[in-house]
Structure 1
Amino acid sequence: MRWLCYSALLCESNRPARAAAGERHSVFIDGEGRLSSCGSVATEGEEEEEEEEEEALPGPLGHGEGVPRLNTPTRLPSTLDDVRAVSVAAGGDHSLALTADSAVWSWGFGWNGRLGHGDEQDHSQPKKIEALAGRRVVAVSAGDFHSLALTVDGAVWSWGRGVYGQLGHGDQQNQLLPKKVEAFAGQRVVAVSAGGDHSLALTADGSVWSWGSGDYGKLGHGDQQRQLLPKKHGTVLTFGNGDDGQLGHGNTNNLWLPTPIPALVARAISAGEHHSLALSRDGSVFAFGNNANGQLGLGDREDRLTPTRIPGLPAVKAVSAGADHSLVVTCGGAVYSFGDGDMGQLGHGLAEVFLLQPTEVEALRGVGACMVVAGYFHSLIGASDGRAFGFGCGEDERLGLGLTADQTSPLEYPHLKVAVSPILNLDETAFMAEGGGPPHERKECLD
């Protein structure tokens, strides 16, 4: 029987996001726990796909009405009730922040109820989600039009757009308020990730669950079916040419008969626009879903309907799936990128059409990267000493580097230091034991 500290699992699988990259904005947490943002807001026409409208909406920058654009990271006027922020998330046109007292704040465009305030009103500054008061939230994630929260007891809450089943309630209804995902009753979830129109969750035993739109196989269940309820990844059979380790058995042997892959035991997950990444506990990375631009890192452009191990990577400690590109950081602090790079979001000094295999970002060699954030068309990197770097699409000021041109190589933010110390506020008594019974061992949360 093996005993696990549930708090340690939460900490390992939910390293607080000190930066977040949305469609056209970025949000940062500095060393004092204060929020800064840069970028621009959508227009009515962009959000509702009506070209005749041009009025700027209250956007995800959080600086109030009349601030539609910021070209450098600028502190939000709100102090979040004078409580430090510990994690942030950025969706298409909304943002979420988690504070040290486990409160969740949201702001931006409110269509479909993605802000969680019981209506579809827009908010130009952070507003506390009262429906989650007292729930002891430990993680948040923002998709295109929906949001997820994880509480310290391992429960998942969702709200916003539900047309593809991405909320996990067994229907396709929008939810204006956070609603508990009852399908996880009896499970202890340790991480959640909201994608474009799908969602991922990771349970304490390392199992990956997915639900929502199944287009391109991004749910990883071997088909493209929509799932209205969370579904656990099952046994995967592979066979054929294994020269590059693509069969997922930890070797390069060919297999003539379908052979089950040892179960993926994950420690982190990331849902992109139409693809997904899972990081196993041995440091391997598995990818599934849309691969039109090589964002799965498998050396080709074929979609994958089941999790497939990315060959050739050193041991990895963090992953991030963007719109059409992916980022990983190794245990040695090196950053690798792959997928669509036509706006410089891969960081290799060129506007590549795409890279089919993980390639180290040489300009970041030696910086000691500990955080990677893949946005829609730009990328953010955090170093262990608090330095932050950005590259990719410069349009709409989303990089916040004072430039509107695309940046194909990483540039350091000159006046920004992101928080690097572990500051999640976890329940010290929230333990989980495999096999039942009281715990007898604790593990420390390591950053």
Structure 2
Amino acid sequence: MTKKVVSIAAGEAHTLALTGDGSVFSWGRGTFGRLGTGKETDELSPVRVSFRGGSGGRGEPKFVGVAAGAYHMADDGSVWSWGYNIYGQLGHGEENSSVPKIIEQFKELGAPNSLSRDQNANRQTTPLKVSSIKAGGMMSLAIDNLGALWIWGNSPQPSSTEEEIFSLVSSSSPLPVWDFHGHTVVKVACGNEHVVAAVSAGENFSGTDLVCYAWGNNNHGQLGLGDKEGRARPQAISTFGEDSPWAIYEISCGAFHTAILTHKKSYDQEIESRCWTFGLGENGQLGHGTAMSTSLPEPVDGLPMETILISLDCGLFHTSVLSASGEVWSWGMEKGLGLCPDASLAGDNAGDALFPIRHRCSETPGGLFPVPVQLACGAAHTVLVAGDGEKLWAWGRGRSGVLGRGQTADSFVPVPLMWPSLEAGLKRNYESKASFHRSGSSSSETSAMEELSVLREKLTLMERYATVLHVSIFRKSLDQRNLPKSLYDSEVFDIKRELENVMEAADTDELARLKMFYEGMLSAVKDRLMKRRIQEVVKEYIRSLSLGRQP
């Protein structure tokens, strides 16, 4: 059973991790049953969540996504949830649940993209399949396999008396967002009382045609619409409209602020990745260098322009981003840690971070985290998955064991988690060393171990290089599952044939990106060559003058 982490989600004081075999692990604060262990006790290190007995005799389900809100979580396979349920955010019943329960309502609902309002009301439907989930505050969201959006819990809905005024409505049954009927919802995120979604301009998503919509509470400008008026229904954010030069690929919401990752829809030589923030800024969570709030999206200028950002998440009052090369930055409350001022740093080190602060890995030269995967922010803690899913780091508030280190102390720098695969590796290493010492070591064995260590370092470097190169060309993370089969079946890799296969399977947008990438490199070579020739001519001219000769 693999323990590679493929996805993580952080709640108010707990964390979820999803592994490659479809298992779910949880740790941190256990009140209200938010860990899904059947108890309300804290867990100081990761424990596996059991789904036995809750699947109608079908055996343990395998999950493909996790999400965590303030006091509840939902997992996708079908959809399961557990924890705090005062507003119906679990999608079943009225009571809290300390064990996972399937959301039965999805079996009785049909996708609004394929049904009329009347058909949905009459329940003439087929079971709904969910492909993505999100949670935040006291609400939950799901995107089904047809690209329709559903929402439940304490969520913004049009007022019953005045449709232009929003109100928070509690519902334990998933409600369709009809405004996106005929379009495909690709990404969604939510804060305490607001929702932001990336939706296809046409019926289907074709790569870069996403339009960003926002609705709900807007008292700090967190909708990015240029004012502080709430919205009952989704309204397009003009900065990321259909005609925008920026293409959205990641969205996250804090309590009262929003962050978005984009890249240029067209480029000549380099990909330009950019982070935008808006909303409440009084703790520096916008990263703009001030504690001012803003109601329009503004770029975070403190990040290197050449950096390719692959993951983004917001805590309540802090924000963090991760680059393809393994760099991590945070900003906001208490040096970007999200900690409350009375429980964290002191002296000159105290205070909110108005600009991004980089976190470094103490285990590698240059402080880069090897083969980065994803990061997630809780209310006052941050968790990072790297090492191609085999290593986890955490920092921030340690209360209730939320850092997964087997203790409750805060940490101001990234520290490794007691992840199951790490513990097993340490045990094997210990047993190996014990056997090694019992049998006696030889110089050849020592040399072999040193060589193995060097090879591992080289492998990590090559994996990082491959990831950055893949993101640069295809604008998506390298996924081992999508590698050519010939790499595994043969010692010879036919690059020409594989490139032809890639071009044959690529859609129009992907081919256009490949063309631009190649042309960008070609023009760069021409420019460099011209500069080199000019430099040589100038050098020769100066050398001739110094010798008293006319060039």
Q: Which bracket does the TM-score occupy, shorter chain normalised?
A: 0.7 to 0.9
Q: Cα–Cα, structure 1 residues 390 and 155, in superposed 2: closer, same or farther, change >3 Å?
A: same
Quick check: 1:269 aligned with 2:251?
A: yes
Rounded to whole Å, the distance in 1 between the matches of 2:219 and 2:291 is 15
> How big is the shift at 1:440?
8.7
Which structure has greater helix proportion? 2
Q: Cα–Cα, structure 1 residues 360 and 173, in superposed 2: closer, same or farther, change >3 Å?
A: same
Rounded to whole Å, the distance in 2 between the matches of 1:107 and 1:376 is 19
Moved more, 354-363 or 295-304: 354-363
Contact 2:216 2:231 in 1 (8 A): yes
Rounded to whole Å, the distance in 2 between the matches of 1:340 and 1:17 is 28
Rounded to whole Å, the distance in 2 between the matches of 1:344 and 1:180 is 36
Equivalent position to 2:211, from 207, 210, 214: 207
> Helix, strand or coil: the match of 2:179?
helix
Rounded to whole Å, the distance in 2 between the matches of 1:186 and 1:440 is 25
Equivalent position to 1:331, from 317, 324, 340: 324
TM-score (norm 2): 0.62
Contact 1:39 1:61 in 2 (8 A): yes
Moved more, 371-380 or 170-179: 170-179
- Provide the residue aligned with 2:295 in structure 1: 305
Contact 1:164 1:213 in 2 (8 A): no
> How big is the shift at 1:77?
2.1
Contact 1:294 1:300 in 2 (8 A): yes
Quick check: 1:341 aligned with 2:315?
A: no
Who wins on radius of gyration, i.e. which is larger?
Answer: 2
- Provide the residue aligned with 2:36 in structure 1: 62
Q: Cα–Cα, structure 1 residues 384 and 209, in superposed 2: closer, same or farther, change >3 Å?
A: farther
Rounded to whole Å, the distance in 2 between the matches of 1:397 and 1:150 is 32
Q: Cα–Cα, structure 1 residues 165 and 276, in superposed 2: closer, same or farther, change >3 Å?
A: farther
Q: Cα–Cα, structure 1 residues 121 and 385, in superposed 2: closer, same or farther, change >3 Å?
A: same
- Provide the residue aligned with 2:7 in structure 1: 18
Pick 1 or 2: higher relative contact order, CA cutoff 8 A, min separation 6. 1
Rounded to whole Å, the distance in 2 between the matches of 1:193 and 1:417 is 31
- Provide the residue aligned with 1:5 in structure 2: none
> Once superposed, what is the RMSD of the aligned Cα atoms?
3.0
Q: Which amino acid aligns with 1:72?
A: S
Q: Cα–Cα, structure 1 residues 162 and 395, in superposed 2: closer, same or farther, change >3 Å?
A: same
Q: Cα–Cα, structure 1 residues 36 and 192, in superposed 2: closer, same or farther, change >3 Å?
A: same
What are the equivalent positions in structure 2 for 1:17-416 lying under 5 Å apart?
A: 18-42=7-31, 58-65=32-39, 67-78=40-51, 81-99=59-77, 103-117=78-92, 119-133=93-107, 134-162=127-155, 172-204=168-200, 205-234=209-238, 262=244, 264-282=246-264, 283-311=273-301, 312-313=303-304, 314-341=307-334, 344=337, 352-363=350-361, 365-386=368-389, 387-416=391-420
> How big is the shift at 1:214?
0.4
> How big is the shift at 1:327?
0.6
Rounded to whole Å, the distance in 2 between the matches of 1:354 and 1:405 is 20
Rounded to whole Å, the distance in 2 between the matches of 1:269 and 1:295 is 15
Rounded to whole Å, the distance in 2 between the matches of 1:299 and 1:171 is 33
Moved more, 104-113 or 23-32: 23-32
> Helix, strand or coil: the match of 1:396?
helix
> Helix, strand or coil: the match of 1:379?
strand
Q: Cα–Cα, structure 1 residues 165 and 107, in superposed 2: closer, same or farther, change >3 Å?
A: farther
> Helix, strand or coil: the match of 1:400?
coil
Rounded to whole Å, the distance in 2 between the matches of 1:26 and 1:228 is 31
Rounded to whole Å, the distance in 2 between the matches of 1:264 and 1:280 is 6
How many residue pairs match? The answer is 368
Q: Which amino acid aligns with 2:28?
A: G
Q: Which amino acid aligns with 1:406?
A: D
> How big is the shift at 1:331?
2.6
Contact 1:369 1:383 in 2 (8 A): yes
Rounded to whole Å, the distance in 2 between the matches of 1:409 and 1:441 is 43
Rounded to whole Å, the distance in 1 between the matches of 2:296 and 2:102 is 38
- Provide the residue aligned with 1:50 in structure 2: none
Q: Which amino acid aligns with 1:197?
A: E
Rounded to whole Å, the distance in 1 between the matches of 2:278 and 2:308 is 19
Q: Which amino acid aligns with 1:92?
A: A
Moved more, 353-362 or 298-307: 353-362
> Helix, strand or coil: the match of 2:373?
strand
Q: Cα–Cα, structure 1 residues 145 and 173, in superposed 2: closer, same or farther, change >3 Å?
A: same
Gaps of 5+ in 2: 108-126, 201-208, 265-272, 362-366, 423-477, 483-504, 511-551
Rounded to whole Å, the distance in 2 between the matches of 1:86 and 1:296 is 31
Q: Which amino acid aligns with 2:279?
A: G
Q: Cα–Cα, structure 1 residues 110 and 377, in superposed 2: closer, same or farther, change >3 Å?
A: same
Which structure has greater strand proportion? 1
> Helix, strand or coil: the match of 1:111?
coil
Could you give the per-residue CA deviations for residues 251-296 of structure 1, whole angstroms, max 9, x where no partner exists?
A: xxxxxxxxxx955431111111111011112311110011111111
- Provide the residue aligned with 1:49 in structure 2: none
Q: Which amino acid aligns with 1:63?
A: T
Q: Cα–Cα, structure 1 residues 422 and 292, in superposed 2: closer, same or farther, change >3 Å?
A: farther
Identity of aligned residues (%): 29
Q: Which amino acid aligns with 1:126?
A: P
TM-score (norm 1): 0.75
Gaps of 5+ in 1: 1-15, 43-57, 237-260, 425-438
Rounded to whole Å, the distance in 1 between the matches of 2:6 and 2:228 is 30
